[in-house]
């Protein structure tokens, strides 16, 4: 379900870099979100997407998402690419954010085929990425993707998010991408659980903030939370930083549209 009303108001309110007074957010709008994606990566990506689009072989997936209703369904790689992968503008946004902020350690909740993982890694190749996926068959496809791209420094973990988050961990993340189980309450729980493993400059990226009323309410709660001083509505994604040195402010921005599709 798309939250049509909030999308309409997003398109009315969103701006480019003009009218943004915070230097931190101006830089993001002016430099980060306008950076071009490497040409070779784009060419290789196009070929890879074409390959995935032709893979219509069905396999069983266990869906732990949206409210953790455990559903088993038949899906193909082609379908997963279309329905649950960061392609188009938002794939580029992941690449741009990783390239600009150069995170050493990244956590991704929700690997699917590894499309988001690959954009983050290609944006900043020396980053160490930990990516968590609850469905073992889906994770197998993600491992094939990582092999295709011949990437080092990516750790894939097969576990439900809540189990993963209960493990004792000493790692501190510089960037966290929360993109699975689009349930408002669960999303807030993941954020809360991760706060002990982040720092003041850690960037949280939430996908599908307008996916349902419930996700939208969770996003509104994050925006009004006094602990997060910078929040940015990017349409499909929401960006969050603690940055307590900055006056609390919320922004609505439009990612730069190169010749890519929006969703
Ligand atoms: C939207 S997809 C991730 C897309 C990927 N991040 C990208 O950018 O291309 C969400 C994934 O999260 C997994 N997932 C959903 N809820 C989960 C949970 N509670 N625990 C573990 N994995 C979960 C699903 O199996 C699915 O593959």
For 118-148, the pLDDT digits (tens) are: 999 999 999 999 999 999 999 999 999 999 9
* Residue 40 DSSP code: H
Q: Which residues are CB-neighbours of 145 under 8 A, at least 6 positions away? A: 48, 113, 114, 115, 117, 118
Distance CA 179, CA 31 (A): 25
pLDDT beyond 50 at 1: no
Distance CA 24, CA 222 (A): 19
> Which residue of 98, 180, 193 sits with most ligand 1 atoms within 8 Å of its CB, as the best mutation to test the pocket?
180
Contact 195, 80 (CB under 8 A): no
Secondary structure (DSSP) of 173-204: EEEEEE-S---HHHHHHHHHHHGGGEEEEEEE
List the chain domain ranges: 4-252
β-pairing, 238-241 vs 230-233, is: antiparallel
pLDDT interval class at 4 (50, 70, 90): low
Listed residue (96, 85, 28) closest to 241, CA to CA:
28
Contact 196, 206 (CB under 8 A): no
Contact 112, 85 (CB under 8 A): yes
Sign of CA dihedral 161, 176, 172, 112: positive
pLDDT per residue as tens digits for the range 174-203: 999 999 999 999 999 999 999 999 999 999
State if residue 180 touches ligand 1 by the CB under 6 angstroms criterion. yes
Residue with tokens 């994770």: 139
Q: What is the pLDDT of residue 169?
A: 83
pLDDT beyond 60 at 263: no
Q: What is the pLDDT of residue 112?
A: 96
Taking residues 96-115, report their average pLDDT.
98
β-partners of residue 155 are: 130
pLDDT beyond 80 at 152: yes
> Which residue of 65, 90, 154 sits with most ligand 1 atoms within 8 Å of its CB, as the best mutation to test the pocket?
65
What is the dotted CATH code of the domain comprising 4-252?
Answer: 3.40.50.150
Percent of the chain residues past pLDDT 90, beyond the cut = 78
Q: What is the pLDDT of residue 73?
A: 83
pLDDT beyond 50 at 262: no
pLDDT beyond 50 at 261: no
The reported pTM is: 0.93
Contact 173, 197 (CB under 8 A): yes
Taking residues 38-52, report their average pLDDT.
97
Atom of ligand 1 nearest to the CA of 181: 16
pLDDT per residue as tens digits for the range 48-79: 999 999 999 998 988 887 644 555 688 899 99
β-partners of residue 253 are: 15
State if residue 117 touches ligand 1 by the CB under 6 angstroms criterion. no
Contact 61, 135 (CB under 8 A): yes
Residue with tokens 């794939």: 91
β-pairing, 71-76 vs 58-63, is: antiparallel
| Of the listed ranges 5-9, 37-41, 49-53, 66-70, the one predicted with least confidence | 66-70
DSSP 3-state of 149: helix
What is the total residue count of the chain?
263
pLDDT per residue as tens digits for the range 13-24: 666 656 677 999
Helix (H) or strand (E) holding 156: strand 154-158
State if residue 93 touches ligand 1 by the CB under 6 angstroms criterion. no
Q: What is the pLDDT of residue 15?
A: 61
């Amino acid at each position: 379900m798309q939250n049509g009303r909030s999308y309409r108001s997003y398109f009315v309110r969103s701006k480019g870099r003009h009218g943004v007074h915070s230097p931190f957010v101006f830089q993001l709008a002016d430099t980060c979100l306008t950076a071009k994606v490497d040409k070779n990566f784009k060419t290789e990506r196009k070929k890879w997407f074409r390959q995935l689009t032709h893979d219509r072989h069905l396999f069983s997936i266990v869906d732990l998402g949206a409210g953790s209703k455990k559903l088993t369904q038949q899906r193909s790689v082609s379908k997963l690419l279309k329905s649950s992968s960061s392609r188009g503008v938002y794939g580029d946004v992941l690449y741009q954010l990783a390239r600009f902020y150069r995170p050493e350690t990244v956590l991704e909740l929700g690997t699917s085929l590894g499309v988001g993982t690959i954009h983050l890694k290609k944006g900043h190749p020396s980053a160490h990425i930990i990516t968590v996926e609850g469905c073992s068959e889906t994770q197998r496809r993600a491992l094939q993707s990582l092999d295709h791209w011949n990437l080092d420094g990516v750790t894939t973990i097969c576990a439900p998010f809540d189990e993963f988050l209960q493990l004792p961990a000493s790692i501190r993340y510089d960037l966290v991408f929360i993109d699975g189980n689009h349930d408002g309450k669960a999303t807030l729980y993941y954020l809360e659980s991760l706060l002990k493993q982040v720092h003041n400059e850690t960037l949280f990226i939430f996908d599908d903030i307008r996916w349902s009323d419930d996700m939208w309410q969770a996003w509104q709660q994050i925006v009004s939370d006094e602990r997060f001083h910078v929040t940015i509505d990017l349409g499909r994604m929401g960006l969050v930083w603690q940055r307590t040195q900055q006056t609390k402010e919320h922004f609505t921005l439009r990612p730069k549209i190169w010749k890519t599709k929006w969703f």
